[in-house]
Structure 1
Amino acid sequence: MLSHIQAKLLIVDDLPENLLALEALVKGSDCEVHQAQSADQALSLLLEHEFALAILDVQMPGMNGFELAELMRGMEKTKNIPIVFVSAAGREMNYAFKGYESGAVDFLHKPLDPHAVKSKVAVFIDLFRQRKALKQQLEAIERSREEQAQLLAQLQVTRGELERAVQMRDDFMSIVSHEVRTPLNGLILETQLRKMHLARDNADAFTLDKMRAMVERDERQINSLIRLIEDMLDVSRIRTGKLSIRPSLFDLSQLVGGLIENFAAQAIAAQSSINFSAEAALSGVWDEFRIEQVVANLLTNALRYGAKSPVQVRTFEQQGMACIEVKDQGIGISEQNQQRIFQQFERVASSQSSAGLGLGLYISEQIVLAHGGSIGVHSIEGQGATFTVRLPLTDLPQAADHQQATSA
């Protein structure tokens, strides 16, 4: 059963004929026999191989068998190898006692009894193989334990990730439910109010001015729903690597200035204002729609969390990059939250005081990264926040070429 474990036997004697005779006795023990004619040769073999048993002649020139045994007991690699001494000296010389003192496990006297030698060698080889098998089993158990520990650690990490994913899903569904319900409730209330006026034949409720106000309210609610849906679609596109970027040549300062004009109504509703300054025209090749989306997200957050204070926006060039800076004077963002606000479903403030799906900054960062740029925030809690977008500038001739190539 254990025969697959290789066993090696070392025999040491200064006389070649004794080595041949001893090998002839033990070679049927299913082991690999190594010979040494001196203690020095034996030491070299002991350092090179792992032996199941060493049979040492006592009387050898130079270092004798007892001295070799003492060296073996002092070496980590060889200290546990069983040693059997062989001697031609008479029993009355008490060599056996000295051999046991040197660390021997047995002592044989010449002339050797073939049956006794084979039996003893077989016993030591069997013990060696059992020890090796036990060691291999213990090592396998230890490896299995380590693998189980690693697997358990991985499972715990996975469990934590799943729990976080479930929590994010629940939070997301709660946010979506709230955010979608808000514009829908507005539309439902408007519809019910109009049905009531129609049922009462109240034509005064449908004057031209009132109809304009109704359409504006409907448009705001519908745009809110469209924005929520587009945000969710953008996240899906980002995850699948299908976020489309359609570059064209345009002036970044002009784009930001026009967008700020469109935010006039939102600024008034937030009891705030937006001040814009542009150092110069910043022409480059970017996706106009996507960059507008980024700036719109930053303006929306600045008005939402700006504590009714003026919002400062400027565009400028810095180190070969076109920069957009949006600065508010509101609640600010803690250092800890600055690390997570660009993640999915993370919002600047608590859910009680914030709106939206928590996707705006995540989508904005992915858009900017897709342009080879960066977006960052500097803020001190309670002292406002400054978001800065950096986009690589393209020289005008190259930009024109890029635009033509894209159109083609």
Structure 2
Amino acid sequence: MVSERPTNNNRSKILVVDDRSENLLAIETALKHVDTEIIKARSGNEALALMLCHDLALVLLDVRMPEMNGFEVATLMRDDDNTKHIPIIFVTAISKDEAYVFRGYETGAVDYLFTPLNPDILQAKVRVFLEMYRQKRELKIARREAEAANLAKSEFLANMSHEIRTPMTAILGFSDVLLGNLQEEEDVFAANIIKRNGEYLLRLINDILDLSKIEAGKFEVEHIACSPPTIIADVASLMRVRAKSKNIPLYVEYVGAIPETIQCDPVRLRQILINLLGNAIKFTETGSVRLVIRLVQGPGSATALRFDVIDTGIGLSEEQISTLFQPFSQADASTTRRFGG
């Protein structure tokens, strides 16, 4: 027969297993000031059945019981995926012999209590395991909430991507139509700008989706043959339009010769250059922005391309540099007012 305190779903549960009613009562009395729900069982079989019905924080398990002793119960618990995670404290008056105690730990015990029980020690140990259980439960809840939020974010990004791609595809399509019909060089140049900016917005959508992939650990970088001069020229052409709107010259400088072809991710290279130059132009009011490219020694015998973006903008203090890679950080509030973020 099972005896339980009134159920409160917010309280952690402890299973006390002993074949003697007076021992069950003694433990229950000692724990009356501990905020927990005590479930009692008088045999190993009854205890195993109760473990499948309750989410338990701890099992206080008597070693010497008829039919099935505590060691046997612990062994069966450890062999079952549903119960192997439950911590066990053996309660015994039999022996403090090291070999005997070791057998208990070997079968899965995390601690021992020897009778006659000291109520203060019992309460202290139980509270430790209840706190561990509470923290573990909160971590599970937080993880579920984080996973749900991440799923909702992914669904939002997917929907947003679709909603923006549809009109943007139409804009790019009409840009191609314009380019096929325009004759004047200035008009063709303007139509190309529209097309390039439309393509940039599509890539921006991909950037947002990439962020989701990074957080999910699914982001991949390509290593394919590409032409740095072509990418640099394309990016410079696009960003000069932005610079011109602020009357800021954008210079591209090559320090020595660079290879016509390298192995890299062309999409990411273009993305990085656009972001760096865009930021430099945004925060520069007077002066100029320069993109400097040079060949440098890489790891081992390899060589690498180095890109430096140099501007005459507001710059960053040492303190501000330390927050550079924190999301949505800003140098100060006045920066938002002057430059829009």
Q: What TM-score, normalized by structure 1, do the two folds share?
A: 0.40
From the two aligned structures, give the one with the greater helix fraction. 1
Give the number of the structure whose alpha-carbon radius of gyration is greater: 1
Q: What TM-score, normalized by structure 2, do the two folds share?
A: 0.47
Larger relative contact order (CA 8 Å, sep ≥ 6) = 1
